[in-house]
């Protein structure tokens, strides 16, 4: 068991905090409080229980539930038991749910009781379907037992897999990024250093823990520094505003979709958010006009832009608060353990200011994609990980995201970034949300098409929005068509599923 001497695993994060600050509150959820010592003991009890079921080192365990203390304990218990945690979006059902469980080869599933039927309906050969909470014999019940903490005879190397992080799947079926303990622990340190995480932040966590941003950029790193963490089950904008206004939280992360909903909430201006000191956004691209409105409304709040993807843990670059004044539209510079380049299609570096694909080298990177050797070889070709993100970098190393390469629109032979058109449309006061896609067109190759969610009772028409864009962008970037919808389709991380919009509106007049 020599690896224990130099142990650097995910479960060590809580164990070491428990040794430093055993009596400090680690987690609050739904009226329950866990000190660091209590949380650490709960994780060991839960890990021992999973092993008692016959699960063995390297077995995959799917996790299918909403945010809860039980969900966190389940992840940490898998890490401590040498199992591989497979987080699953709790909104998935049927074939999408079955694909992740089957493709990962999971032997067991940890589920919220309300979701158990979705798993059992699949008829998959799972050895165990275990309730996370709210049921006799649940993992939470085992973790809370007033019993001696068992000894675990498990030797875990930091090179072992600890989680399969399934990619967003905005253009194809999700792929399981194989994350090791070492990769995630390196990423946690990048987060602590680059995002100024401290034990005094009192963060509020509301985004889904099945997504890597909330779990690995914020909750685990804040547990590493010994902060008092508060967790909500779901990210309801009104509830978030109420909790933040209570004054007990100094830091908060939200995906751009939630920040948009908060900024548009009718009670936004009525709430006093002055206790909030640090605001984080990421997991998808923040519309520039929305960020400007937020910064204007809360000028003393420090905003951090967090950019990356699941395969790198997911933090790759950071734009700090003091850097927002000069470069509010930048994604910042490389995180502590990340090295990046911007390259052309042949893998050659492009000059500063020119567009190319950002590629990475980092100990934070995944080992590849689970059971997908061809996709792994393609992504890691040339000794660098290829992100699929079209960017440019300035002379000082600041990254500017242009678009996902697959979302760039070829209109009449000219390449247009969908994000640029979206930002122009977002400046219209009647627009709540927008997604811009390219649809196959005999004349234009791809016709720029805007799909818009109006704000409240705003009366909008396509012609008005087209004229609005004409005053801000060149004529060839103006949408050829505008469609209005009540909401936009999203994946687990809140990213808009543009493939669904392309399918839906192809052939529309």
Q: Is the peptide bond before 125 cis (omega within 30 degrees of 0)?
A: no
Query: Distance between CA atoms of 29 and 232, rounded to whole angstroms?
Result: 7
Q: Write down the pLDDT at residue 492.
A: 57
- Give ∠ CA 152-153-158 in degrees, rounded to 5: 90
> What stretches of 429-488 adopt beta strand conformation (E)?
431-441, 445-454, 481-484
Residue bearing tokens 């004229």: 467
pTM for the full predicted model: 0.86
**The pLDDT of residue 456:** 80
Q: Computed from CA positions of residues 490, 492, 495, 499, in that sequence, does the dihedral angle turn out positive or negative?
A: negative
pLDDT at residue 418 in the model: 87
pLDDT tens across 465-502, in order?
999 999 998 888 999 999 999 999 987 566 788 888 98
| Contact of 233 with 246, CB cutoff 8 Å | no
Query: In which residue are the tokens 């190393």 written?
Result: 397
Of 195, 190, 189, 229, the closest CA to residue 209 belongs to: 229
Triad 464, 507, 286: Cα angle to 5°: 55
What tens digit of pLDDT does each residue of 115-164 get? 999 999 999 999 999 999 999 999 999 999 988 899 998 999 999 999 99
pLDDT attached to residue 323: 96
pLDDT at res. 441: 84
Residue 144, phi then psi, degrees to nearest 5 = -95, 0
What sign for the dihedral angle of Cα 20, 22, 25, 28?
positive
Q: Are 270 and 279 in contact (CB under 8 A)?
A: no
The Cα 129–Cα 99 span in angstroms is 17
Structure tokens at 289: 């006009």
Q: Give me the domains of the chain, ranges plus CATH numbers.
A: 10-157 (3.40.50.980), 196-300 (3.40.50.980), 408-506 (3.30.300.30)
- pLDDT in single tens digits along all 509 residues of the chain: 456 778 899 999 999 999 999 999 999 999 999 999 999 999 999 999 999 999 999 999 999 999 999 999 999 999 999 999 999 999 889 998 999 999 999 999 999 999 999 999 999 999 999 999 999 999 999 999 988 899 998 999 999 999 999 986 555 678 999 999 999 999 999 999 999 999 999 999 999 999 999 999 999 999 999 999 999 999 999 999 999 999 799 999 998 889 988 988 999 999 999 999 999 999 777 888 888 889 998 999 999 999 999 999 999 999 999 999 999 999 999 999 999 999 999 999 999 999 999 999 999 999 999 999 999 999 999 999 999 999 999 999 999 998 887 787 888 777 787 888 998 999 998 999 999 999 988 788 789 999 999 988 778 888 999 999 999 988 889 999 999 999 999 875 667 888 889 889 987 65
d(CA 129, CA 116): 8
Q: CA nearest 400: which of 384, 382, 383, 423? A: 423
- Taken as a whole, the chain contains a residue count of 509
pLDDT of residue 3: 66
Query: E strands within 126-175?
Result: 128-131, 161-166
Q: How far apart are CA 378 and CA 95, in angstroms?
A: 27
Q: What is the DSSP letter of 228?
A: -
User: Which residues, in sequence order, are CB contacts of 311 under 8 Å at separation 6+?
Assistant: 165, 167, 177, 365, 366, 379, 385, 387
């Amino acid at each position: 068991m020599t690896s224990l001497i130099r142990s650097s695993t995910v479960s060590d994060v809580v164990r070491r905090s428990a040794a430093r600050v055993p009596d400090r509150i680690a987690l609050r959820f739904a009226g329950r409080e866990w000190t660091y010592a209590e949380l650490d003991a709960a994780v060991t009890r839960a890990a021992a229980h999973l092993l008692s079921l016959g699960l063995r080192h390297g077995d995959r365990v799917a996790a299918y539930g909403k945010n809860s203390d039980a969900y966190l304990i389940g992840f940490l218990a898998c890490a401590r038991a040498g199992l591989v945690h497979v987080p699953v979006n709790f909104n998935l059902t049927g074939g999408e749910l079955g694909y992740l469980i089957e493709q990962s080869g999971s032997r067991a599933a940890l589920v919220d009781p309300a979701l158990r039927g979705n798993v059992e309906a699949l008829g998959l050969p799972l050895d165990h379907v275990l309730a996370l909470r709210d049921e006799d014999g649940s993992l939470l019940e085992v973790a809370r037992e007033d019993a001696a903490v068992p000894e675990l005879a498990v030797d875990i190397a930091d090179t072992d897999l600890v989680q399969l992080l399934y990619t967003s799947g905005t253009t194809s079926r999700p792929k399981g990024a194989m994350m090791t303990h070492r990769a995630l622990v390196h990423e946690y340190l990048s987060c602590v250093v680059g995002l100024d995480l401290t034990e005094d932040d009192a963060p509020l966590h509301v985004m889904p823990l099945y997504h890597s941003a909330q779990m690995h950029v914020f909750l685990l790193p804040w547990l590493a520094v010994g902060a008092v963490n508060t967790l909500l089950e779901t990210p309801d904008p009104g509830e978030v505003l109420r909790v933040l206004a209570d004054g007990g939280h100094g830091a908060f992360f939200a995906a751009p979709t939630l920040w948009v909903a908060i900024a548009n909430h009718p009670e936004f201006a009525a709430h006093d958010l002055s206790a909030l000191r640090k605001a984080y956004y990421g997991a998808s691209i923040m519309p520039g006009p929305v960020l400007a409105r937020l910064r204007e409304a809360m000028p003393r709040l420090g905003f951090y832009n967090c950019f990356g993807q699941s395969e790198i843990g997911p933090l790759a670059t950071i734009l700090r608060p003091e850097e927002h004044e000069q470069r509010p539209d930048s994604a910042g510079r490389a995180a502590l353990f990340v090295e990046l380049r911007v390259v052309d299609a042949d893998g050659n570096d492009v000059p500063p200011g020119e567009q190319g694909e950002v590629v990475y080298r980092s100990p934070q990177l995944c080992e590849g994609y689970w059971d997908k050797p061809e996709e792994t070889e393609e992504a890691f070709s040339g000794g660098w990980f290829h992100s699929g993100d079209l960017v440019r970098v300035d002379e000082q190393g600041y990254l500017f995201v242009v678009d996902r390469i697959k979302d760039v629109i070829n209109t009449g032979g000219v390449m247009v970034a969908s994000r640029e058109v979206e930002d122009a449309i977002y400046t219209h006061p009647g627009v709540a949300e927008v997604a811009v896609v390219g649809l196959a067109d005999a004349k234009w190759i791809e016709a720029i098409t805007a799909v818009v969610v109006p704000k409240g009772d705003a009366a909008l028409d396509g012609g008005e929005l087209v004229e609005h864009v004409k005053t801000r962008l060149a004529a060839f970037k103006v949408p050829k068509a505008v469609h209005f919808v009540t909401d936009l389709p999203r994946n687990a991380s809140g990213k808009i599923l543009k493939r669904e919009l392309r399918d839906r509106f192809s052939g529309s007049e």
